[in-house]
Amino acid sequence: MIIRKLFRFESAHILRGAEDARCRESIHGHSYKAELLLESNRFREGQLVLDFTRVKEIINFFIDIFDHSIIIWKDDSAEFIEVMKKFSSRWVILGVNPSAEQFARVIFWFARRALAKEWNVSVYSVIVHETESGYAQAFLEDVNNESMGVILAEDFAFSKTILEDNDSRKRFTEILGAV
């Protein structure tokens, strides 16, 4: 059986290497929707795969780091990164270009680790809608595909504002290791 939990966040980015110059050369934002699809072949108590409230407790703080943040690729120019950090109190640096495709992979990667202790539940896929008509869907084989970019905990960096929000540093450390 598959269950789905929907999350929403507003975020800005620039997509280096994109075909469209507006995406490649200008900071722009989107109203993202992220769908987390979980699967299990057994029910828990109450005949549930996993209570939706529990899913939100486990995953929402990670999704929330992207909300109203500028998302920066670690391989962008040092000058660009410093300017973004200087003029935004909420920023996230990723080891991959912040496209819908990579967001789907990153959220899957995180959710898989965060849910590892949950009995008999696994991540089936993650769908990230960048627009009403465009989305990317990631599966485990995509997350593990190094030709799509390697996702490493040590490549994440977060602004002080994000780390201080809701004790995020402690929660990141529990799931990802030191941040």
Q: Does 61 have pLDDT greater than 80? A: yes
Lowest mean pLDDT among 37-41, 80-84, 147-151, 164-168: 164-168
Q: State mean pLDDT over 57-78.
A: 95
Rounded percentage of the chain residues whose pLDDT exceeds 90: 80
Please say whether the dihedral angle defined by the alpha carbons of residues 142, 148, 150 and 156, taken in this order, is positive or negative.
negative
Mean pLDDT of all residues belonging to the chain: 93
Q: Which of helix, strand or coil describes residue 110?
A: helix
pLDDT at 8: 97
> Contact, 142 vs 106, CB < 8 A?
no
pLDDT: which is higher, 173 or 160: 160
Q: What one-letter code names the amino acid at 31?
A: S
| Per-residue pLDDT tens digits for 84-107 | 999 999 999 999 999 999 999 999
Give me the architecture of the 2-176 domain, per CATH: 2-Layer Sandwich (3.30)
Q: State mean pLDDT over 136-155.
A: 96
pLDDT at 44: 86
pLDDT at 23: 93
DSSP annotation string for 12-63: EE--TT-SSHHHHHS-EEEEEEEEEEEE-SS--TTS-SS-HHHHHHHHHHHH
pLDDT at 176: 72
pLDDT: which is higher, 164 or 22: 22
Q: Does 172 have pLDDT greater than 80? A: no
Neighbours of 2 (CB within 10 A): 10
Residues annotated as catalytic (active site), given as ranges = 23, 68, 130
pLDDT band for position 116 (cuts 50, 70, 90): confident
